[in-house]
Structure 1
């Protein structure tokens, strides 16, 4: 739960910050943006409590509606919902402590509501077992996702929808990518032990799995670009595009001209440049997010041409020279990374998916003509939804028709964040992703 840096702060204060974060997410703001405005000394603790709250929000909202059918004022409702989420089993605080601190928090903001909050929370404590059992029959409460999201996952993955929804509420592993120009996984595991006292294990030549998550400030050589934080599934993009260690896919020539479309925040951009000498253009429609790409490249000591432009508006940014390879990490629902961003499920709306699918299709159609004959395009999304993965690529191939493109059989397709028989038992699953490697004849 709250990190050591925030352990000395009163719990009531952290609950108040968490309630503000929940209210902001309910109002449509990203949790990442909200946390950036929290006082530094309270940020880590607020993040930890916010993540737990959002992973249990469906249940907390359902039990609040059961115990208090008439919704209290928004600021009171947010505090009450946070407390109910943190009291939902398994609880992380002694119930009497959490109730007392929640009452303190609400008393400072709405003194007249303190008695109401105290009564609701204590009633939940008395009736918790029965309420938890009853609400397991409500999918939104049981899985803590919006109903439309649950139905889409169920339709796309009828044999695995319940494990997928449960997995989305688990804490994700922290995986590192060792800069291939600076070392390897085995060497960095030893360095972690010697210099930071951190336990980890190597997964392949350049991936390292930490036994416990740690701040990047504790990672030896992070500031110097020796290592980066990147999920295992995301680490598959650069080797796939470059043909590094992937049977049947030839490597790109040295100095190949590569486009990283939708490049921000730059993790895959950096990985490409760590693995090969490239003439790389990093493109993103958001100038502020493109700044993060620049910061990442400066940290690892790599260079690329950065352009702030919409990839669909080719005339605004393209100089007419074709690319040997294109990485299209397209805007998507982020439904595959909700373990790391639990606010996403509550921010998305059903209509967002159709709009995202349209944008993805427009990007594919705009960028494919920029590829040389014999070139390759890797289409990627961090989504579980087939509309943003297999169905999107199928529709693209049908639009092209004939033999205008070939889907490489080495394409991973949909990667689900579930353990499978192909993975070692001690390696947790990566995030949900989709990959399709397309070749132009």
Structure 2
């Protein structure tokens, strides 16, 4: 257990120093990774509370970031155990340890690493003090926005301003683990066939959307029939809307800009036979697109993968217009915090304006590539209006010939389909447009 705690603390340390949790966990030995991931995810969802407690008990932040990470991990886990003792409802999947076991194992973890060894007594003292003084400390801790909502204050303020009727529900949803949703590859299986196969395997699932299945509980992909055979992909219900919203017909010339890791690319190809270009500026991520298409049996001579910048078409466009463009542009990913709880701690307030400017550049660069009569689907996994509705209103002001068509607009996380936060806008170019 101590090695699992150490591995989780190292992952938390990575986030504290600006690294994504995925990158940090990728450095964890395989045998330790599942447990370390569960522990680190819990710590990320309770990091604001743990930071508030740490600041109260240790006003001067430890200079060694691994020591700080171990304290934050320990506080979040200790609080979970104490809440269970009180009978307080827990977030599903919360790791629970007895207080004495947790403290002992964290001290052992600190002892096993030279960076934290000098702080093992501090870790022991802080955790035991919190266990003793928790009742007296909680009122002042919980009065802090950071501790109550487990999001940075700027994030809470932004949601309160953008969604005055929904901001609390959005923040609460962010701390709930998301469901596991599959998208059926209709070229290989019908949804009814796959549902029957899952039921035979003892896996409870229910239909959602047009081709989706939501599992009663998440499972490793290798434990679900049909992964290697390409019968399905894991894709959130909100993300599945992209393949349905873009008006397509067979043999159309289509651009999927910012395509990696390829889930939406594959969905388009599962629905139609297309001359499709999948574009992404990251060569490594583009390889994931190729792998996904191969697994799903969607690779063909009419699918072209290009590593290039969507905002600089002069570097890659062949001059032939596209009948349809999917612009799933880079964003803050504020709508997928349930799946990536570290995002809230890695983003800064200024990132919203920065990504909004990048999105505007990409949308403006792609618009001339769209054929008259064609459609551009603008998509982000964000819940900040600057990256959604405000972005599209500004685009329409810059391009008065653009015609907005019916699309969901803002989807807030945890709605009817239990999906992530997304924004969709469908824009049509008139037939008489000049480019």
Q: After TM superposition, is the score higher than 0.5?
A: yes
1:93 to 76, 91, 97: 97
Deviation at 1:98, TM superposition (A): 1.0
> Which residue number corresponds to residue 362 of structure 1?
361
SS at match of 1:288: helix
Q: Relative to 1, partners in 2 of residues 1:333 and 1:431: Cα closer, same or farther, differing over 3 Å?
A: same
Q: Do the aligned partners of 1:185 and 1:203 also contact (CA within 8 Å) in 2?
A: no
1:76 corresponds to 2:86 = no
Deviation at 1:415, TM superposition (A): 0.1
1:23 corresponds to 2:13 = yes
> Which residue number corresponds to residue 264 of structure 2?
268
> Which residue number corresponds to residue 181 of structure 1?
187
Deviation at 1:312, TM superposition (A): 1.1
> Which residue number corresponds to residue 102 of structure 1?
106
Q: Relative to 1, partners in 2 of residues 1:210 and 1:272: Cα closer, same or farther, differing over 3 Å?
A: same
> Which residue number corresponds to residue 133 of structure 1?
139
Q: Do the aligned partners of 2:209 and 2:237 also contact (CA within 8 Å) in 1?
A: no
SS at match of 2:112: helix
Q: Relative to 1, partners in 2 of residues 1:172 and 1:101: Cα closer, same or farther, differing over 3 Å?
A: same
Q: How many residue pairs align between the two structures? A: 411
**Matches of 2:245 and 2:138, distance apart in 1:** 45
Q: Relative to 1, partners in 2 of residues 1:324 and 1:355: Cα closer, same or farther, differing over 3 Å?
A: same
RMSD: 1.3
SS at match of 2:19: coil
Deviation at 1:81, TM superposition (A): 1.0
Q: Choose 129-138 or 261-270, whichever is displaced more.
A: 129-138
> Which residue number corresponds to residue 274 of structure 2?
278
> Which residue number corresponds to residue 130 of structure 2?
124
SS at match of 2:154: helix
The superposition leaves residues 251-274 of structure 1 with CA deviations (integer Å, 9 ceiling, x where unpaired) of: x33100000000000000000000
**Matches of 1:390 and 1:238, distance apart in 2:** 20
Deviation at 1:67, TM superposition (A): 1.0
The superposition leaves residues 202-223 of structure 1 with CA deviations (integer Å, 9 ceiling, x where unpaired) of: 2244110111100011111111
> Which residue number corresponds to residue 406 of structure 1?
403
**Matches of 1:78 and 1:42, distance apart in 2:** 17
Deviation at 1:127, TM superposition (A): 2.2
Unaligned runs of 5+ in 1: 1-10, 243-251
Q: Do the aligned partners of 2:152 and 2:344 also contact (CA within 8 Å) in 1?
A: yes
1:435 to 418, 424, 427: 424
Deviation at 1:94, TM superposition (A): 1.6
Q: Choose 26-35 or 257-266, whichever is displaced more.
A: 26-35
Q: Relative to 1, partners in 2 of residues 1:93 and 1:220: Cα closer, same or farther, differing over 3 Å?
A: same
**Matches of 1:205 and 1:148, distance apart in 2:** 37
> Which residue number corresponds to residue 397 of structure 1?
396
SS at match of 1:259: strand
The superposition leaves residues 305-358 of structure 1 with CA deviations (integer Å, 9 ceiling, x where unpaired) of: 000000111111100100000000000000000000011111111121111111
Q: Choose 84-93 or 228-237, whichever is displaced more.
A: 84-93
1:203 to 202, 205, 208: 208
> Which residue number corresponds to residue 385 of structure 1?
384
SS at match of 1:234: coil
1:258 corresponds to 2:254 = yes
**Matches of 1:214 and 1:45, distance apart in 2:** 15
1:293 corresponds to 2:292 = no
Unaligned runs of 5+ in 2: 85-95, 431-435
- Equivalences for residues 148-167 of structure 1 within 5 A: 148-167=154-173
> Which residue number corresponds to residue 371 of structure 2?
372
> Which residue number corresponds to residue 55 of structure 2?
65
